[in-house]
């Protein structure tokens, strides 16, 4: 039996995906189902005087219209929710805090009827001053988004290591700059969709979610229900990228179904997806002290993340950003202050590589700026400062299993770093850039798994990892097959269902392959142990004499006795179940936010990117000639899928690097659509797009998640290539032609001043 890990089996649903027959919640129906349409605020900040619903209530087909006042008056509902701070109302109560905030839900017999009636619902507001900038929101006279937090603070963290002031005095040179990343949208192809049904006192939910147990917990708390009174199910999820973690629209749908007395389904339109969750804009002030030989001796970083109108995961997310801010370098003296700030904008949350890309854009842009000023090759500058095995990270933990030298070797090869770019044509310039990043995975967290042996000899995997197109389903089949020593065709895997599948914190943070693999291996050990005991008892032999070979128990090296696993089930026994758990009990949430110190992560994710670009100096248009993305994978469960993930990271990363930006005008999103908000198309992908993974030579190395390792490196790699080509440093994303031209003008002006 060949090992399943390290092979590339075809995804079992590949044909369904291609021909469009894959089941999604979007397609799910239940008897008696009504349809909901959300009515949204038209102002960014205001007192909610009244919501007018009478006209809508009298429309044909309308079942009910629900407002925040109705929810507030229901003693069976906790009207506010939130993963880390319960500050978000199901529907606006007393006040709206961003344009697009839900203020009412129309429930009707058909989607058309709901949409028609929703146009008749309107609100009266007493408008208030608003603030959209995270920097302006920290000013003393800024509008207050939440009365409970008059300084607009949505989380504050501090990290100190060494003596940063002494380090700066030791430095031969100190470089300082400010970098800004704008708000962005996840744009999953499947919009947010949820169906809720109440049956007596039990709530049943089908939802497109990355985190079914987070929804389960949230619904328990909202309706004060025992665990068994809530059932959450997912099917395939059509993309998430962090947007479908935690709870999103489920509170609205559950409350609508409660008010209507029948099942209700809500599917958001595309513009509503933009109004539901986005990426944190961030302003990063970074100062780096270095010696003339390029050695970093001190770094001071101030981070201000734009949380939007509600906390979501920002209080803890600011801490995650803080822990990644120093970059993948040895920095003996560090001070990081990281805050999240309320504003009157769309709430923000994890965005593929959460909280990291805003920082890597800053510290990797600075790496090239410093290297050029000191006359040092940009790759060599990084090598001089890279973290390596045993080095002490600023959080105070000694790091292991680091492979940044290997990543840089691979990046150099991928774009022929040592060879100058081909000569450019008239009005164009070419250059190359690299970037490497460090990211922790969600810690603490918990994953559980069951492996159930059936009478037909097949083994069912029961876990709550969500298939979103990333390939987790076939990956877990491979891992379980490898742990059991059987062929993959013996394994069966269904969809997450909290009545059936055990707890998993979330399918995010590139944790499923690593965390769930540990749970599955533990479950496999438990199942094999039970089978060993049964076989030894049946044959009256010592347990030590029992072995397992491809789904069969055998006795001794020259087996006199053999029995298929299924034959060890008792008459009438439907299954034999192995249980496995992986859990960590340390991490940021266990620390004092004002004194971060100790182990932060189960393991640290490592990734990189390299780019070669051509810049038209007349128009500012950047053409990407070559783009390479890599990561450290530990052991690759499927080398082909790791390659495709890295290429996917590269394509995904092109968007926020080159043109993605959620724009605000008069406090409202002005481009909540796919005509005004651009995402990468095949026309944007360079012909020379490559990816690779560094693997450990250790056969027992950890499995690392790879779904987002290269994303945060894409923008700085491209920005550094532009810098190499033109000498123009761009401090604000995206790298639009307008910003390129402005940076070129600034570079020319600086040259004139230097030569004067």
Mark 230-247 as b/e (b = at least 16 C-beta within 10 Å).
bbbbbbbbbbbbbbbbbb
Rounded distance, CA 192 to CA 197, Å? Answer: 17
Residue 698 confidence (pLDDT): 86
Mean pLDDT of the residues in the chain: 96
pTM of the model: 0.97
- Mention the CATH class of domain 28-128+189-239+244-276: alpha beta
Q: Are strands 622-634 and 688-695 parallel, antiparallel or unpaired?
A: parallel
Q: What are the structure tokens assigned to 100, written together?
A: 């697009």
Give the SS3 label for residue 747.
helix
Q: Is the pLDDT of residue 749 over 90?
A: no
Q: Where do the CATH 3.30.365.10 domains begin and end in the chain? A: 282-442+590-755, 445-583
Identify the pLDDT of residue 556.
Answer: 81
Q: What is the pLDDT of residue 105?
A: 98
Residue 221 pLDDT greater than 70, yes or no: yes
Tokens 């470089």 locate to 175
Percent of the chain whose predicted confidence (pLDDT) is above 70: 99
**Choice among 15-24, 110-119, 554-563, 712-721 with the minimum mean pLDDT:** 554-563
Mean pLDDT of 684-700: 93
* 109-148 pLDDT tens trace: 999 999 999 999 999 999 999 999 999 999 999 999 999 9
Largest CA distance in the chain: 95
Residue 358 has pLDDT above 70, yes or no: yes
Query: Is residue 747 very low, low, confident or very high in pLDDT (cuts 50, 70, 90)?
Result: confident
- For range 73-89, the mean pLDDT: 96
What's the pLDDT score for residue 276?
98
* The CATH number of domain 445-583 is 3.40.50.1820: no
Task: Give the phi and the psi of residue 57 in degrees, each rounded to 5.
Answer: -60, -25
Check residue 1 and give its pLDDT: 43
DSSP 8-state class, residue 683: G
Token pair, residue 685, equals 């992908």
Selection from 4-8, 166-170, 543-547 with the highest mean pLDDT: 166-170
d(CA 686, CA 343): 37
Cα–Cα distance measured from residue 36 to residue 91, given in angstroms and rounded to the nearest whole number: 13
Cα-based distances in Å from 395 to 331, 332, 550: 11, 11, 45
Region 284-290: mean pLDDT is 98
Q: How far apart are CA 347 and CA 654, in angstroms?
A: 23
Range(s) of the chain covered by CATH 3.90.1170.50: 28-128+189-239+244-276
The average pLDDT across 667-688 equals: 95
- Which of these CATH numbers, 3.20.20.70, 1.10.287.1770, 3.30.365.10, 3.30.499.10, describes 282-442+590-755? 3.30.365.10
Minimal CA–CA distance to 299: which of 362, 381, 354, 378? 362
Is 70 exceeded by the pLDDT of residue 420?
yes
pLDDT (0 to 100) of residue 294: 98
Contact 219, 225 (CB under 8 A): yes
At residue 385, φ and ψ (nearest 5 deg) are: -120, 0
Note whether 45 and 128 are within 8 A (CB): yes
Instruction: Find the mean pLDDT for residues 577-591.
Output: 96
pLDDT tops 60 at residue 214: yes
What is the distance between the alpha carbons of residues 501 and 494, in angstroms, rounded to a whole number? Answer: 9
Q: How many helices (H) and strands (E) does the chain have?
A: 17, 30
Which residue is listed with tokens 């006040």? Answer: 95
Report residue 198 CA to chain centroid gap.
Answer: 31
**pLDDT score at 2:** 55
């Amino acid at each position: 039996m060949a090992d399943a890990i390290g092979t590339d089996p075809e995804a079992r649903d590949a044909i369904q995906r291609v021909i469009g027959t894959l089941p999604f919640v979007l397609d799910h129906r239940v008897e008696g189902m009504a349809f909901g349409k959300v009515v949204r605020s038209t102002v960014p900040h205001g007192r909610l005087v009244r919501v007018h619903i009478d006209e809508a209530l009298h429309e044909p087909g309308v079942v009910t219209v629900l407002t925040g006042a109705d929810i507030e008056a229901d003693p069976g509902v906790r009207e506010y929710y939130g993963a880390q701070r319960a500050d978000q109302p199901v529907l606006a109560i007393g006040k709206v805090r961003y344009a697009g905030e839900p203020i009412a839900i129309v429930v009707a017999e058909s989607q058309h009827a709901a949409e028609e009636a929703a146009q008749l619902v309107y609100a009266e507001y007493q408008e208030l001053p608003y603030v959209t900038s995270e920097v302006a929101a920290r000013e003393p006279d800024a509008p207050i988004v939440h009365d409970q937090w008059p300084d607009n603070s949505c989380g504050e963290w501090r990290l100190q290591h060494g003596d940063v002031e002494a380090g700066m005095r030791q430095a031969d040179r100190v470089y300082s700059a400010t970098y800004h990343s704008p708000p962005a949208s996840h744009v999953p192809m499947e919009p947010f969709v949820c169906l809720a049904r109440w049956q007596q006192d039990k709530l049943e939910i089908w939802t497109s979610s990355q985190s079914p147990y987070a929804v389960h917990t949230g619904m328990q708390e909202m309706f004060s229900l025992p665990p068994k009174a809530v059932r959450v199910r997912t099917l395939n999820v059509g993309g998430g990228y962090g947007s479908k973690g935690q709870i999103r629209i489920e509170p609205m749908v559950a409350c609508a179904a409660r008010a209507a007395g029948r099942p209700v389904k809500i599917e958001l339109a595309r513009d509503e997806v933009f109004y539901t969750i986005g990426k944190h804009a961030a302003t990063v002030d970074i100062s780096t002290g270095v010696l003339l030989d390029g050695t970093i001796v001190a770094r001071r970083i101030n981070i201000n993340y734009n949380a939007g109108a509600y906390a979501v995961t920002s209080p803890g997310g600011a801490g995650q950003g803080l822990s990644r801010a120093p970059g993948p370098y040895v920095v003996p003296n560090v001070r990081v202050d990281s805050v999240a700030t309320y504003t009157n904008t769309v709430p923000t949350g994890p965005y593929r590589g959460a909280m990291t890309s805003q920082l890597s854009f800053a510290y990797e842009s600075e790496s090239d700026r410093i290297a050029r000023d000191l006359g040092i090759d940009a790759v060599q500058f990084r090598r001089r400062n890279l973290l390596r095995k045993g080095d002490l990270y600023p959080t105070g933990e000694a790091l292991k299993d680091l492979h940044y030298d290997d990543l840089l070797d691979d990046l150099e090869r991928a774009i022929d770093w040592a060879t100058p770019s081909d000569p450019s044509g008239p009005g164009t310039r070419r250059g190359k850039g690299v970037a490497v990043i460090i990211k922790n995975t969600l810690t603490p967290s918990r994953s559980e798994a069951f492996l159930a042996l059936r009478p037909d000899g097949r083994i069912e995997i029961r876990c709550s990892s969500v298939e979103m197109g990333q390939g987790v389903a076939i990956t877990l089949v491979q891992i379980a097959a490898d742990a059991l020593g059987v062929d993959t065709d013996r394994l069966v895997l269904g969809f997450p269902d909290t009545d059936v599948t055990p707890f998993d914190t979330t399918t995010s943070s590139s944790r499923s392959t690593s965390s769930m693999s540990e749970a599955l291996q533990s479950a496999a050990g438990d199942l094999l142990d039970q089978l060993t005991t049964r076989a030894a008892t049946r044959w009256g032999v010592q347990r030590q004499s029992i072995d397992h070979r491809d789904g069969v128990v055998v006795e001794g090296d020259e087996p006199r006795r053999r029995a298929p696993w299924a034959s060890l089930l008792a008459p009438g026994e439907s299954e034999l179940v192995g249980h496995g758990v992986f859990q960590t009990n340390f991490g940021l949430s266990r620390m004092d936010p004002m004194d971060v110190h100790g182990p932060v992560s189960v393991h640290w994710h490592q990734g990189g990117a390299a780019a070669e670009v051509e810049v038209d100096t007349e128009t500012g248009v950047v053409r990407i000639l070559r783009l390479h993305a890599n990561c450290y994978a530990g052991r690759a469960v499927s080398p082909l899928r790791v390659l495709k993930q890295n290429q996917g990271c590269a394509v995904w990363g092109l968007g926020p690097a080159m043109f993605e930006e959620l724009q605000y005008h008069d406090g409202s999103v002005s481009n909540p659509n796919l005509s005004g908000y651009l995402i990468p198309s095949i026309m944007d992908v360079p012909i020379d797009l490559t990816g690779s993974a560094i693997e450990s030579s250790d056969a027992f190395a950890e499995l690392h998640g790879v779904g987002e390792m290269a994303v945060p490196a894409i923008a700085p790699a491209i920005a550094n290539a532009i810098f190499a080509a033109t000498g123009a440093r761009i401090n604000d994303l995206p790298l639009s032609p307008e910003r390129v031209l402005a940076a070129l003008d600034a570079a020319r002006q600086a040259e004139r001043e230097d030569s004067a």
